[in-house]
């Protein structure tokens, strides 16, 4: 009986794999069609391949050397750590291109998901939660987010190192630090960063950060912390009710502001505490500041 079942599964899988079409996985079933990792081993890594997932999946996925791979969650699909914290991430993506993860709830692990080793990762509509360290871990990669939620992770919600990230409609809440980024370029629009116990966003180490039409509120530390040769621009953002500064600039850091609401933060709404730190174009922004150009209404960024 088992041999006949395996043969039937192979008859189902082989044509799908050969033609690189949509392979369904139901994690509530036993057998090869009940595990994403089993299907991954049978695919041609060059793609294009799509895996559509339903049910509750207890496994750790390793996506290595793939191109044009899409994982789509049906409503209610859940992916949780099966290693007891022995593996770094629930989903590890390494040395891969055009990997798309859509609509999953990814829970646990030391990290929920990792994108590294010059990978290109695209996330949309996922929830990353309950990791022992980082909800999302990005190293040396190019990543996009659209409509994702990063919440209730014990350390950092979104960690970025030596990477380029574009993110829209991103919610980051209930982590220790919401975002920590270094040596990276980060473009964000329509974010909600709130109720993280430390800083909402911390950017340093020669990074570039732009945030547009976003809200950073009710975080335990600074709303946005900027340090170490880093520049940011903030356009029409609301930064309120944070436990320290609304926006704080450390050593040799620069900020440029267009519109927005900076008010009601515990210390200064915009603070320049570091050596050679500077904030430009903040005369029309409501709130308190100790930055040296607070009244320079005509200040403009230097033309290159």
Which carries the bigger pLDDT value, residue 304 or residue 82? Answer: 82
Q: Report CA torsion sign: 90, 112, 208, 211.
A: positive
- In order of start, what are the domains of the chain with their CATH numbers? 18-147 (2.160.20.10), 176-285 (no CATH)
Tokens, residue 95 = 């040395």
Q: What is the pLDDT of residues 224-280, one digit of tens each?
A: 999 988 999 999 999 999 999 999 999 889 899 999 999 999 999 999 887 778 787
- pLDDT, tens only, 70-125: 999 999 999 999 999 889 999 999 999 999 999 999 999 999 999 999 999 999 99
pLDDT of residue 234: 95
Position 119 scores a pLDDT of 98
Q: 201-208: list long-range contacts, CB under 8 Å, 24+ apart.
A: 201/225, 202/177, 202/227, 203/179, 203/227, 203/230, 203/232, 204/228, 204/230, 204/250, 205/229, 205/230, 206/182, 206/230, 207/181, 207/182, 207/183, 208/184, 208/232
Q: How far is Cα 158 from Cα 164, in angstroms, rounded to an integer? A: 13
Q: CA 205, CA 225: separation in Å to the nearest integer?
A: 12
Q: Is the peptide bond before 48 cis (omega within 30 degrees of 0)?
A: yes
Contacts of 147 (CB under 8 A, 6+ apart): 124, 125, 168, 169, 170
Q: Are 112 and 149 in contact (CB under 8 A)?
A: no
16-25, 126-135, 197-206, 292-301: which range is least confident on average?
292-301
């Amino acid at each position: 009986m088992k041999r006949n079942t395996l043969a039937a599964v192979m008859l189902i899988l082989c044509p799908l794999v050969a033609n690189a079409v949509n392979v369904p996985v139901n994690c509530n079933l036993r057998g090869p069609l009940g595990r994403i990792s089993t299907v991954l081993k049978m695919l041609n890594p060059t793609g294009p391949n799509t895996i559509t997932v339903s049910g509750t999946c207890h496994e750790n996925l390793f996506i290595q050397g793939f191109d044009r791979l899409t994982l789509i969650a049906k409503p209610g699909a859940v992916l949780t750590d099966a290693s007891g914290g022995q593996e770094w991430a629930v989903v590890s993506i390494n040395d891969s291109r055009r990997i798309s993860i859509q609509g999953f709830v990814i829970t646990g692990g030391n990290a929920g998901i990792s994108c590294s080793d010059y990978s290109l990762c695209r996330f949309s509509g996922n929830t990353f939660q309950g990791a022992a360290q980082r909800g999302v871990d990005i190293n040396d990669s190019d990543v996009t987010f659209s409509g994702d939620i990063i919440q209730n992770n014990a350390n950092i919600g979104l960690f970025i190192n030596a990477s380029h990230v574009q993110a829209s409609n991103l919610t980051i809440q209930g982590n220790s630090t919401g975002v920590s980024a270094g040596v990276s370029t980060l473009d964000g629009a329509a974010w909600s960063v709130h109720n993280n116990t430390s800083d909402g966003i911390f950017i340093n180490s020669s990074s570039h950060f732009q945030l547009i039409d976003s809200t950073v509120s009710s975080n335990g530390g600074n709303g946005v912390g900027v340090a170490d040769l880093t520049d940011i621009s903030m356009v029409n953002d609301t930064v309120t009710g944070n436990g320290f500064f609304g926006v704080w600039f450390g050593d040799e850091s620069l900020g440029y502001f267009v519109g927005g609401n900076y008010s009601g933060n515990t210390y200064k709404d915009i603070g320049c505490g570091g050596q050679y730190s500077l904030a430009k174009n903040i005369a029309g922004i409501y709130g308190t500041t100790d930055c040296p150009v607070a009244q320079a209404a005509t200040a403009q960024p230097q033309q290159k």
